[in-house]
Amino acid sequence: MLRLNRITDYAVVVLSQMAREPHRLVTAPQLAVDSQVPLPTVAKVLKALARGRILISHRGANGGYALARAPEAITMLEVIRALEGPVSLTDCVDGAEGDCNVEELCPMRGNWDRVNDAIRGALAGVSLAEMAMPATMFGVPLPAPEAAGTRDPARS
């Protein structure tokens, strides 16, 4: 099964929070509160995303992090690469050589590249702006979560 690690999942949560106010400079503690992701995890994610040039880090008393580009210009492929490295299903793709004992005899040699290209194309086709949109069910936006301590009287 192809599965992203938990840090990448948290990164998308944090980035989606930032995409809702793309011009806002935010600190790790504020993002931890806003996204409900633990502060140590947020700090780790922010550093990795800054190294990957998804975020810009501003130092100083009024410092924090900001998106490096508009949310529409940041793709899920870039985010995954920043946190997990190259996206590929197997080690024997994209010209990699020498990692397989049967490389010269393998009938699949080169064919996995087509699959990897399709996956990367799909990830490149989804922007951070799209990920930050509220989820929908059958084309209808889902209702906002109820505030803590409030109940819908119609459901009582």
Identify which of 90-99, 104-113, 121-130 has the greatest average pLDDT.
121-130
The domain defined by 6-130 folds into: Arc Repressor Mutant, subunit A (1.10.10)
Q: pTM of the full predicted structure?
A: 0.76
Those residues whose C-beta lies under 8 Å from the C-beta of residue 86, and which sit 6 or more positions away, are: 94
What's the whole-number mean pLDDT along residues 123-145?
78
Q: With a cut of 60, say whether residue 150 has pLDDT above it.
A: no
Encoded tokens for 40: 């140590």
Res. 16 pLDDT band, cuts 50 70 90: very high
Q: What is the DSSP string of 75-102?
A: BHHHHHHHHH-S--SSSS-TT--SS-TT
How many other CB atoms sit within 10 Å of the CB of residue 54? 25
Residue 116 phi, psi (nearest 5) = -65, -40
- The CA-based diameter of the chain, rounded to the nearest angstrom, is 69
